[in-house]
A and B are shown apart, each in its own frame.
Chain A
């Protein structure tokens, strides 16, 4: 994965795109969990959500930029 991506001739950091992608994935997971009401089993839903995001973003970032 290139460190910078040219979007309409503007150089955008690749990590930013990954960040946005992770937000999308998080939104999907969030909706899915909410649909089936699984947040009842979680102590602090928003902390859980943030943690999931960190896991996603960390994993994607570390895997794509070794």
Chain B
């Protein structure tokens, strides 16, 4: 290709065209995969002589998803959901074969619970819940007039749904798969690099608040994103599965190091603001060796292993340097205290950074399983029970209303309406704008119906055989998956179109020509969809509302209470992961740079700072050498802090400040007798005190400027 002049080749492939082509090719690969899955599923259903290829195709339409990388990973939960749902359907049919009111009531409750589960759990588990509701419904649907046939019907429907799940999983896993594992590796390396660069580049200690906010957001996103990916990849890749616990540990160390780093920065900023520039300068000097350790010669490759050894070497220098810097500050005992707490923080950060880089190095250097065992840690999610509860109530009311309407009118196609309401109240409940999404889905569903009408009643009567079926249906069916890839701009449109099309296509063997059924079914389906949309209007979703955000902010604040009261076993990981998950959930719906996001950020920082210090303090309190009265004073301080963060007000702030101060005084007095046990605890207490008295933190409105803190210069 060297004959082609470069300027012409760049003219022929402008960057926007390349981006466009890359995006389009991804979309069309997904379309091709979906079509293969649709037809393979339909063909296999016919080969196995199952009754309704339509059920298989509907399942494929629900399950195929472009972002998913591997549907196989999710198939696990989907299969679980299907089995549970069908089992429940059979049980229900056995329990109430004659009482339709009780039957529909129980079914409504079941579907409502499933919708609640779909909201409560995220990612692929949520789909399992949607399918559990859907399968329970679809199992009893044909048997509702012939209760004796429910078992055969259940077996048939479960086989069809399972077949749909298996086929879509296989197709997306085998044909041009998007390897999530590569994504995970790339992203975790990016985040690692970003963190190291950030730690190296911020020697000066003066990071503007906006930058810190952005960095914090990025650290939080990184931790949550890595965990999300890891939990999917373990289903895809046995190698990752074997290393899973180590990756969780890496994430924990990442989070811990990020928190310490932020606390350190916060402390330096605070000291600079409150006229302690000398202490701040001393701390920045103390941080110097870490920065140097993180920037090796450009000739050497900055591999994690190299960094880990360099940090380890610099860790040994730190105490010597700290002692030297301490000498210079000797005149002022207050400065000295602040400096000591900063020193602890620097050393903690260095140790955590060393652990983090050395684990990263181990993970990069080894292939396959890594020997030895590591501590098991679990990423905890912060769940709020309000939105699932509302989803449960809403879905129950929708289903109950539709059931009553069906019973009262004796409408033959009421079942179709119920079925659609079941599927979409689960699928759309997680959307932050469900009414808009339902409206989109409704329109798309109607378009899908029209397209299917054209295919079924104009094209299909003239065709014969499976190849002809594919030729006739493929062009219009392909629109559905294509629209699904545009989900960001047109939410719900793709799913609506595909479902509408496949539902009316109602592939059977042999096909029947029944225009009357088309009309009845479409009206019923659109009615059911409209009902679930109306339910979203009557009982609006709380996801993304001010109310829920405020609730979550309270939950975030109470994390300090958790840190102060929860059992010590594995507390650090739970604290760090829930904090991040919560912050991530709230920040999704706040505008960047707004007043609200500023308040949120300052609370998050305060919670991170104090919570972590409380945990460290509690760890140090376990030291056996601590005299009982000192420990009591510390426990008192911890409790007072928990109360303050539970419901902050001025009186509680005073109580907490007093308790921490008391503990500091007592510990300082005992320091000469029990240096080993008191020294680390004292540093944590000092950190807590500076965090409490920080006049730029979220606690600032509650701070009482009492005359007795006159000794603080």
Contacts and interface: CB of A to CB of B under 8 A. Distances in A.
Interface of A: 10, 30-31, 33-40, 44-47, 50
Contact of A34 (B173, B174, B177, B238): B238
B368 A35 contact: yes
Contacts of B151: 10
Contacts of B367: 37, 40
Given A35-B368, A36-B369, A37-B368, A50 B170 contact: yes
A37 B238 CA distance: 8
A7 to B, nearest CB: 13
Task: Classify chain B's interface size.
Answer: 10 to 19
B173 A39 contact: no
28 contacts: A10-B151, A30-B238, A31-B238, A31-B241, A31-B242, A33-B238, A34-B237, A34-B238, A34-B239, A34-B240, A34-B242, A35-B238, A35-B239, A35-B368, A36-B368, A36-B369, A37-B367, A37-B369, A39-B239, A40-B367, A44-B174, A45-B237, A46-B72, A46-B173, A47-B174, A50-B170, A50-B173, A50-B174
Contacts of A38: 368
A57 to B, nearest CB: 13
Nearest to A40: B367
Contacts of B177: 46
Given A35-B238, A37-B368, 6 more contacts: A34-B237, A34-B240, A34-B242, A37-B369, A47-B174, A50-B174
A60 to B, nearest CB: 18
Contacts of A33: 238
Contacts of B240: 34
Nearest to A48: B174
Contacts of B368: 34-38
Nearest to B240: A34
Main secondary structure of the interface of A (DSSP, over half): helix
B159 to A, nearest CB: 10
Nearest to A16: B159
Interface in B305-361: none
A38 B238 CA distance: 10
Nearest to B172: A46
B174 A46 contact: yes
Contacts of A50: 170, 173-174
Contacts of A36: 368-369
A35 B368 CA distance: 5
A30 B177 CA distance: 18
B335 to A, nearest CB: 54
Nearest to A33: B238
B230 to A, nearest CB: 15
A47 B179 CA distance: 13
Contacts of B241: 31, 34
Contacts of B369: 35-37
A20 B368 CA distance: 27
Chain A to chain B: the 9 pairs with minimum beta-carbon distance, closest first: A34-B238, A37-B368, A37-B367, A46-B173, A34-B239, A35-B369, A35-B242, A36-B368, A30-B238
Contacts of A47: 174
A50 B169 CA distance: 11
A37 B170 CA distance: 22
Contacts of A45: 237
A30 B173 CA distance: 15
A7 B503 CA distance: 34
A45 B240 CA distance: 13
Contacts of A37: 239, 367-369
B300 to A, nearest CB: 28
Nearest to B170: A50
Contact of A39 (B72, B170, B174, B238): B238
Nearest to B368: A37
Interface string B137-161: 0000000000000010000000000
A40 B237 CA distance: 12
Nearest to A38: B368
Contacts of B239: 34-35, 37, 39
A37 B369 CA distance: 7
A61 B170 CA distance: 21
A65 B673 CA distance: 82
A39 B240 CA distance: 11
Nearest to B155: A10
Interface in B233-266: 237-242
B117 to A, nearest CB: 25
B149 to A, nearest CB: 15
A29 to B, nearest CB: 9
A58 B240 CA distance: 29
Nearest to B177: A46
A46 B156 CA distance: 28
Of B72, B177, B237, B368, most buried by chain A (CB within 10 Å of CB) is B368
B238 to A, nearest CB: 2
A3 B92 CA distance: 30
Contacts of A10: 151
A47 B151 CA distance: 35
